[in-house]
A and B are shown apart, each in its own frame.
Chain A
Amino acid sequence: MIYSSHSYTPSIALSPKAITGQNLWQRNNCWSCHQIYGLGGYLGPDLTNIYSNPNKGPDYISTFLNSGVQSMPVYNFSNSEKEAIIEYLKAIDQSGVYPNKESVIEATGWVKIKYKDE
């Protein structure tokens, strides 16, 4: 059941370009500092919804990638590589919300999360 695709809402299919972005994400160990859905390293901020953040978004991400600010490594991504990473972050953004600030915490200890399409 865990492997059945119906268990996930909404099921976001990564495009080939987003897959390329994911490969870059893995090869450059972005996960060692950044989180997605709170999962990853803690030396940098969570990037789940950075794509749709009104103050940030694609152009902001693009300028950050090769900036080497703080502890972030100085990367040397080409334009198409940057686009692929942004495509990946866009797909992640469409898959859901994190931190899920509109969740409802119940007295039983249960938390009802808000899904993207609600």
Chain B
Amino acid sequence: MNSKYPLYFIILALGSLLLGVIFGLVASLQYIYPEFLKNALPFIKLRPLHVTSGISWIILGAIGSIYFYLNNLKFYSVKLLKTHFTLYLLTGISLYFSYVLGNMDGREYLAFTPFLIIPILFGWLLFGINLFKTLWSSISNWPVYYWMWGTGIVFMIYHLSEAHFWLIEEFRMNFTKDMAVQWKSYGSFTGSWNMLVYGISIYVMTKIKGDEQMGRSNKAFFFYFLGLTNLMFGWAHHTYFLPTQPWIRYVAYIVSMSEWIVLASIIYDWRRGLPIPNFQKHSMAIKLMKTADFWIFANLVLALLISIPAINYYTHGTHITVAHSMGTTIGINTTILFSSIYYIVGTLNKKYQETTVLQKVSIKLFNGALIVFVVSLLAAGIKRSHWIHFSDNSSFSEMQDAQYVVYILLTVSGLGLLMAIYFIAIPVLKRMMQLIRH
């Protein structure tokens, strides 16, 4: 290891995950008791705190992992890496301050004061320079995961900028366009981090299995291109019901449906046996990757269904969308990143490759709690959809009150998830701290 900074990124990521789930849990309590902490920690602060912490976990965890993997090669510039880390540490602190002080003139998902997008974009630029300079000489022979990382960074820079086009007054005057572009950018922004995270999963599986072919097959590249089209056009289910021209809605529909190919392929591969190896070494990393595999399957089915306009018509604007986003960010992104982090500590110290009993139980708790969590969101969504489309007379608060049991289920399973996440994250965090001290 010629630098500890990749590990610093991961520690920052884990810290933001541990904080983020607490904000989430408190926010879910406010669904049950609207007056709970209403003045001390109002929902308008909790929600952006929760969302930003969650996104920061995914992004910092991916950045840290990728830096670590690049660090095995000859790094272009450790100085750029240090600058990037310092910049993000300071930006992170300012972000939380901006929320706590209530200085949030941004928009949903990127609620911080828009000025902070400048250091964020600059950090991505530093990351991009470092990655491309490190890998440039071998570009003709890149395995798919390098392509995914490179693409993820470029698109991230673009879509983060796109999400701030509204700062131009002219742009924002056209309400429908502004809104469509905003939601398109969110879909693609998520697609960009998925590129980084999926690249990490292929990297980890390749290395554990010791089979470089995995990242070089035609099929791997086919999926890369399919993922890329979806990154560019797969935001459809956000915007079907905006009054945009029909052709935009058609293209979006067709592209989203191409994902069925991925699903078919996954089912096909399953029947032939999982591509994930069953080795003794890195057992925790492998278990987590298998968990991700299950959730990829479950979420793809849901995502495909809600991308059919006739179904989207009923699911849009309800918690079913949240079931989709929580299923993917927690079930897929979080498990892949955990797997990568366990793999990293395992490569630094072989002692850390084994799975403890507590960790085994935690993965079970994680899956059980996440299933209940997603199901209760689906139930809440169905109820809300029914209220939107079929009941003209009952008031919003009557509908909310009728959701009481569902919201309790949501909070209880949320607590289960929080515990599982703590049990999985804290041991690896401790190990990482020890590794840094030596």
A residues near B (Cβ < 8 Å) are 1-3, 5-14, 19, 22-23, 26-29, 31-33, 35-46, 70-71, 73, 91-92, 95-101, 103, 105-106, 109-113, 115-116
B176 contacts which chain A residues (CB < 8 A)? 8-12, 95-96
Interface assignment of B310: CB less than 8 Å from any CB of chain A: yes
Report yes or no: A96 in contact with B243, Cβ–Cβ below 8 A.
Answer: yes
B43 contacts which chain A residues (CB < 8 A)? 32-33, 43, 71, 73
| A8, A14, A98, A101: the one within 8 Å of B180 (CB) | A8
Report yes or no: B318 in contact with A40, Cβ–Cβ below 8 A.
Answer: no
Report yes or no: B44 in contact with A111, Cβ–Cβ below 8 A.
Answer: no
With known contacts A35-B317, A71-B35, A99-B317, A111–B240 Cβ distance under 8 A:
yes
Say how far A44's CB is from chain B's closest CB, in angstroms: 7
Report yes or no: B44 in contact with A73, Cβ–Cβ below 8 A.
Answer: yes
B-side interface mostly: helix
C-alpha gap A113/B105 in the complex (Å):
32
C-alpha gap A91/B313 in the complex (Å):
23
Report yes or no: B243 in contact with A95, Cβ–Cβ below 8 A.
Answer: yes
A98 contacts which chain B residues (CB < 8 A)? 241, 317
C-alpha gap A20/B241 in the complex (Å):
25
B308 contacts which chain A residues (CB < 8 A)? 109
A109 contacts which chain B residues (CB < 8 A)? 253, 308-311
As a 0/1 sequence over residues 391 to 405 of chain B, the CB contacts with chain A under 8 angstroms (1 = contact) are: 000001100100000
Report yes or no: B318 in contact with A42, Cβ–Cβ below 8 A.
Answer: yes
Report yes or no: A32 in contact with B47, Cβ–Cβ below 8 A.
Answer: yes
A-side interface mostly: loop
With known contacts A12-B174, A92-B175, A41–B34 Cβ distance under 8 A:
no
Nearest B residue (CB) for A115? B243
Closest 10 CB pairs of A and B: A38-B317, A96-B243, A71-B34, A29-B44, A8-B176, A111-B309, A32-B47, A45-B396, A109-B308, A31-B108
Chain B 239-285 residues near chain A, CB threshold 8 A: 240-249, 253
Nearest B residue (CB) for A107? B310
With known contacts A19-B173, A111-B313, A37–B242 Cβ distance under 8 A:
yes
| B42, B105, B175: the one within 8 Å of A12 (CB) | B175
Best-buried of B180, B308, B309 by chain A (most CB within 10 Å): B309
A92 contacts which chain B residues (CB < 8 A)? 175
Report yes or no: A100 in contact with B309, Cβ–Cβ below 8 A.
Answer: no
As a 0/1 sequence over residues 38 to 49 of chain B, the CB contacts with chain A under 8 angstroms (1 = contact) are: 100011100110
Best-buried of B48, B176, B384, B396 by chain A (most CB within 10 Å): B176
B169 contacts which chain A residues (CB < 8 A)? 19
Q: Can you list 8 A-B pairs with a CB-CB distance of less than 8 A?
A: A10-B243, A13-B175, A29-B48, A46-B317, A71-B30, A96-B242, A98-B317, A111-B240
| A1, A43, A97, A110: the one within 8 Å of B310 (CB) | A110
With known contacts A29-B104, A71-B38, A13–B174 Cβ distance under 8 A:
yes
A113 contacts which chain B residues (CB < 8 A)? 240-241, 243, 249
Interface assignment of B158: CB less than 8 Å from any CB of chain A: no
Nearest B residue (CB) for A92? B175
Report yes or no: A40 in contact with B243, Cβ–Cβ below 8 A.
Answer: no
B246 contacts which chain A residues (CB < 8 A)? 112
Nearest B residue (CB) for A71? B34
Nearest B residue (CB) for A6? B245
C-alpha gap A109/B254 in the complex (Å):
11
Best-buried of A23, A28, A33, A99 by chain B (most CB within 10 Å): A99
B135 contacts which chain A residues (CB < 8 A)? none
Chain B 304-323 residues near chain A, CB threshold 8 A: 308-313, 316-319, 322
A112 contacts which chain B residues (CB < 8 A)? 246
Say how far B306's CB is from chain A's closest CB, in angstroms: 12
| B30, B42, B181, B322: the one within 8 Å of A2 (CB) | B181
Report yes or no: A29 in contact with B172, Cβ–Cβ below 8 A.
Answer: no
A103 contacts which chain B residues (CB < 8 A)? 313
Additional A-B contact list (5), CB under 8 Å, known A8-B177, A14-B173, A29-B111: A2-B184, A10-B176, A14-B172, A99-B388, A100-B313
Interface assignment of B183: CB less than 8 Å from any CB of chain A: yes
Report yes or no: B104 in contact with A27, Cβ–Cβ below 8 A.
Answer: yes
B238 contacts which chain A residues (CB < 8 A)? 39
As a 0/1 sequence over residues 336 to 380 of chain B, the CB contacts with chain A under 8 angstroms (1 = contact) are: 000000000000000000000000000000000000000000000
| A3, A22, A42, A116: the one within 8 Å of B384 (CB) | A42
Report yes or no: A41 in contact with B47, Cβ–Cβ below 8 A.
Answer: yes
Report yes or no: B175 in contact with A91, Cβ–Cβ below 8 A.
Answer: yes
Interface assignment of B179: CB less than 8 Å from any CB of chain A: yes
B179 contacts which chain A residues (CB < 8 A)? 36-37, 39
With known contacts A38-B317, A42-B322, A13–B173 Cβ distance under 8 A:
yes
A96 contacts which chain B residues (CB < 8 A)? 176, 242-243
